[in-house]
């Protein structure tokens, strides 16, 4: 899920920036320091959106730069368990596929790709044995987050499933709707 969060931090203002406008310089420092920052508590920082307040600066002995108590807003992506997401398949492997969720990719294990026995072909396609449904790079899909790990904070991992109703490739849902319409038409015809 994407959020705008308000954060407070002390920002170092190096002396080389003294000639710049304080607000602009601090905003640039914030962008440099926080963009693409990853934290289990905050998520993945997409960008710093605005300054809210710049407090008094303090100087630490031995460092010629002031530190400003700054409040600012950031746009973040924080994955949440059971969240529904849409994305594009970016890579297919023999153990599953990867789906782009925006700032990070999620992994769909081959066992979670569909309700069918799935095989991997050398042409990088996952195919269902009975349904003949397939997944390939570039497909737009819906999935549910079932695992989130920040074990390596610089590279969070997200596990996804498409084995639940209304998940998977968009074309699969259209096929299901068409079958449901045909079944309803047959039921109406039998009633007459």
Question: What string of H, E and C letters represents the secondary structure of the chain?
Answer: CEEEEEEEEEEECCHHHCCCCHHHHHHHHHHHHHCCCEECCCEEEEEEEEEEEEEEEEECCCCCCEEEEEEEEEEEECCCCCCEEEEEEEEEECCEEEEECCCCEEEEEHHHCCCCCEEEECCCEEEECCCCCEECCCCEEEEEEEEEECCCCCCCEEEEECCCCCCEEHHHHHHHHHHHHHHHHHHHHHHC
pLDDT tens across 99-154, in order? 999 899 999 999 999 988 988 888 889 888 888 888 999 999 999 999 999 998 88
Q: Band of the pLDDT at 192, cuts 50, 70, 90? A: low
> 45 pLDDT exceeds 80?
yes
Q: Please report the domains of the chain, with CATH numbers, ordered by start residue.
A: 2-77 (3.30.1490.120), 84-170 (2.40.50.140)
Please say if the pLDDT value at position 178 is more than 80. no
* pTM metric for this prediction: 0.77
Q: Which residue has the higher pLDDT, 146 or 191?
A: 146
Average of per-residue pLDDT across 37-57: 92
Q: How does pLDDT run across 48-95, given as a tens digit for each residue?
A: 999 999 998 888 888 888 899 999 999 999 999 999 999 999 999 989
């Amino acid at each position: 899920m994407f959020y705008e969060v308000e954060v407070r931090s002390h920002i170092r203002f190096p002396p080389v920036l003294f000639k710049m406008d304080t607000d602009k310089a601090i905003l640039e420092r914030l962008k440099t320091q926080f963009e693409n920052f990853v934290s289990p508590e905050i998520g993945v920082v997409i960008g710093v959106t605005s300054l809210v307040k710049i407090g008094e600066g303090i100087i630490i002995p031995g460092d010629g730069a002031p530190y400003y108590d700054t409040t600012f807003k950031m746009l973040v992506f924080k994955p949440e368990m059971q969240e529904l997401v849409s994305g594009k398949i970016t890579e297919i492997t023999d153990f599953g596929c990867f789906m782009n969720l925006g700032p990070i990719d999620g992994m769909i294990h081959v066992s979670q790709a569909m309700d069918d026995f799935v095989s991997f072909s050398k042409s990088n396609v996952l195919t269902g044995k009975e349904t003949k449904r397939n997944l390939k790079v570039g497909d737009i899909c819906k999935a549910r987050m079932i695992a989130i790990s920040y074990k390596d904070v610089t590279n969070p991992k997200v596990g996804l499933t498409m084995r639940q109703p209304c998940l998977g490739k968009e074309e699969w849902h259209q096929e299901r709707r068409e079958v449901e319409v045909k079944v309803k038409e047959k039921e109406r015809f039998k009633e007459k």
